[in-house]
A and B are shown apart, each in its own frame.
Chain A
Amino acid sequence: MSELVRLEKVSRRFAQPAGLTRRLAVAAGLSQPPSVVRAVSDVDLTIRAGEALGLVGESGCGKSTLGRIIAGILPPSEGRAMLDGARVMGEGRRPVKTTTRVQMIFQDPFASLDPRWKIGAAISEGPIAHGLVAPSEARAFVVGWLQAVGLPPDVADRYPHQFSGGQRQRVAIARALAMKPDVLVCDEPVASLDVSIQAQIINLFLTLRRELDLTLLFISHDLGVVRHVCDRIAIMYLGRIVEMGPTQVVMSAPLHPYARALLDSIPRLALEGDEAAFRPIAGELPSPLAPPPGCHFHVRCRRAAESCIRQSPLLTPRGPSRSVACHFPIEE
């Protein structure tokens, strides 16, 4: 399989927007410069064509930011995001997305559809604008995609508020797929849905992925869903990828202490005699405004030593398909 998506040393910083008065005050030494968050730092990542990569981590670890960089919504502050050898977004001070080959599905289907557009128009807007379909054939095109996501054709003339959450997410999926993308970035696509609906949407993803030969970046904090959908998994902690490898291998024998802790924190049905069915991770996620020095995880890590504070471990390959960023990985 050839690689389709490639991130090279991608970082993304967010600074509080500073107004003119604030900037003058900073220049005069009357005020602190605005604080900067490094949501993503120095991430190298490749996704092969046809692969489903799961991106997991706690809230605020930067996984959504990374997804938005790949989807061409945010430009990286440093580094390059490439799709099939070309940049996802152009260069310059106000980069604009140039490719239609990567599309995104958002967490909240109530927010990701324009409330004033009928869903038929919403689905066909992009394809018509990019000449993928003629306006005269839009109706049949929309009906085709509605059927592909399991919705009846007559809903094309309805507005988003007339749908349930699961149906809206189906519409959002149809809207993204109608652009005929190669890569689909799914940002917590089932997190806001009822559990009974989640399974339907997950199965829809699996079917469509097979039929359309899609490459998926599946962002989630639900390890169960990721295990079900993804071939490979990348675990993020405070803006860095700490472990990456085939889903089954990483989940059964994680190398990074954070990956271990994350897996241990999944609540499971307690078997007879089991005392603790799950173990929460000690401590809280440090503020991304002031991440700890060295390895970001050392303050919560039971294996941490002095070197973990001094030097931050790099993501290094271990074996043919895995890599881990830890000075003292767990050896089985």
Chain B
Amino acid sequence: MTGEAPLSAFWLEFRRNRVALAALGVVATVLLVALLAPLIAPQDPYDLSRLRLTDARRPPGFIGSGGYVHWLGTDAQGRDLLSAILYGLRISIQMGLIAGAIAFTIGATLGAFAAFRGGWVEALIMRVVDLQLSFPAILLALVLAALLGQGKWQLIAALVAAQYAYFARTAHGAASAERAKDYVEAALSTPLPTPRVVMRHILPNCLPPLIVVATVQVANSIALEATLSFLGLGLPVSEPSLGMLIANGFQFMLSGRYWISIYPGLALIILIVAINLVGDQIRDQLNPRLRR
């Protein structure tokens, strides 16, 4: 990136893509709404004492015993679906961000270390990564989630194990390219210790491609977590994410009570598509070969 202020130039170019801009708006809105869920949700869906079974499985627009409108209907326990979705988004996004951040840290460090160390260490690390990338992430996550059992941190471990490889691959490629540059030789010949050169010079210069991967992988983490929760391998029932909401409503689909599954599903799709659109635009802008 050249120019007086790289960040503002980046933003000016980003703004030109209306779709990406709209997607960014959606992501920001969803983040805000999820963050403020306790303040704006009509009901606390985790407070079982407030739930009335007489309100269960009511269609959108129903006015329940609480005296307010259930805009998206209620589920089998009589929960307000809008509230459940807002709280579910909170959990899904939280899981996606935590798993993404840990996978980023582990993967990027591993990839950069492999690129710098070379020899059999590099070969070993990168072959394991390649092996893992050669079969679907969901498979590994499924096996791990089943092995580790239920729980928030067990699920995060499964997500990280399934996703760090993408970061490692990207960091390895970028660090191999950076490593050959003169400024790295200049730093090493000062001399500065190798770990310091990797952390303070090489990794910061590998950030652009890693940020792109991170954006897409957060969306993938959310989808993966939803899938695992849908299959019953995800979070415990006390912390229902979007995937579990979809699963809970699935059995009522054929009886015509579509809203219990469809609305959480829509929320999930909108979030994932929006994150991916933002990620695509960032990738296009950071890829020098696609630049005009």
Contacts and interface: CB of A to CB of B under 8 A. Distances in A.
Contact of B191 (A100, A106, A116): A100
Interface string A111-135: 1111111000000011001100000
A104 interface: yes
A10 interface: no
B182 to A, nearest CB: 4
A17 B120 CA distance: 11
A103 B123 CA distance: 33
Interface string A153-185: 000000001100000000010010001000000
A71 interface: yes
Interface in B100-119: 118
Contacts of B205: 114-116
Contact of B182 (A98, A112, A126, A179): A112
B185 interface: yes
Tell me if B's interface is mostly helix, strand, loop or mixed: helix
Contacts of B194: 96
Interface in B1-52: 1-4
B186 interface: yes
B66 interface: no
B123 A96 contact: no
Nearest to B184: A114
Interface string B178-205: 0001110111111110101000010011
A271 B188 CA distance: 49
A85 interface: no
B231 to A, nearest CB: 38
A20 interface: yes
A73 interface: yes
Most buried by B among A97, A98, A107: A97
A108 interface: yes
A73 B192 CA distance: 12
B107 to A, nearest CB: 21
Contacts of B182: 106-108, 111-112
A96 B182 CA distance: 17
B186 A104 contact: yes
Given A106-B182, A114-B201, A179 B123 contact: no
Contact of B189 (A71, A107, A113, A162): A71
A112 B191 contact: no
B183 A126 contact: no
24 contacts: A20-B123, A68-B185, A73-B185, A73-B188, A96-B194, A97-B188, A97-B191, A98-B191, A100-B190, A104-B186, A106-B186, A107-B182, A111-B181, A111-B182, A112-B182, A113-B183, A114-B187, A115-B183, A116-B204, A129-B196, A161-B1, A161-B3, A162-B4, A179-B190
Interface of B: 1-4, 118, 123, 181-183, 185-192, 194, 196, 201, 204-205
